[in-house]
């Protein structure tokens, strides 16, 4: 999908988690999901805590994968990890409204 559309940002997240992190009054592009893509024009993704994986997508950008298992909002460890990664990416200027 990245190769076809060349998006600036993309996220894979459940509706429940999305609604929790980006309510209708919130801006899209301001939260981290199970998988989050950043175009290289947005900047470099900093080091992130384990078990997070950071994968290049050719020369187009970077995919951040929070956990190898399916992310669920009912798993407190998943939510804690997402919050920690959100803080790091926000401080790096990668989480901004689209």
Please report whether residue 71 resides in a domain: yes
| Banded pLDDT at 22 (limits 50, 70, 90) | low
Distance (Å, rounded) from C-alpha 90 to C-alpha 16? 21
pTM for this predicted structure: 0.88
pLDDT in tens, 65-83: 999 999 999 999 999 999 9
The total number of structural domains that make up the chain: 1
Please report whether residue 97 resides in a domain: no
pLDDT in tens, 3-17: 888 888 888 988 888
pLDDT in tens, 46-60: 999 999 999 999 999
Domain that holds residue 16: 2-91
């Amino acid at each position: 999908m990245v190769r076809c559309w060349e998006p600036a940002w993309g996220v894979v997240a459940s509706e429940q988690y999305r609604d929790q992190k980006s309510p209708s009054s919130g801006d899209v592009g301001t939260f981290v999901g199970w998988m989050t893509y950043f175009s290289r024009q947005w900047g470099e993704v900093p080091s992130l805590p384990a078990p997070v994986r950071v994968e290049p997508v050719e020369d187009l950008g970077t995919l951040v994968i929070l956990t190898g298992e399916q992310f669920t909002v009912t798993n407190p460890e998943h939510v804690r990890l997402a919050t920690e990664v959100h803080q790091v990416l926000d401080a790096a200027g990668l989480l901004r409204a689209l």
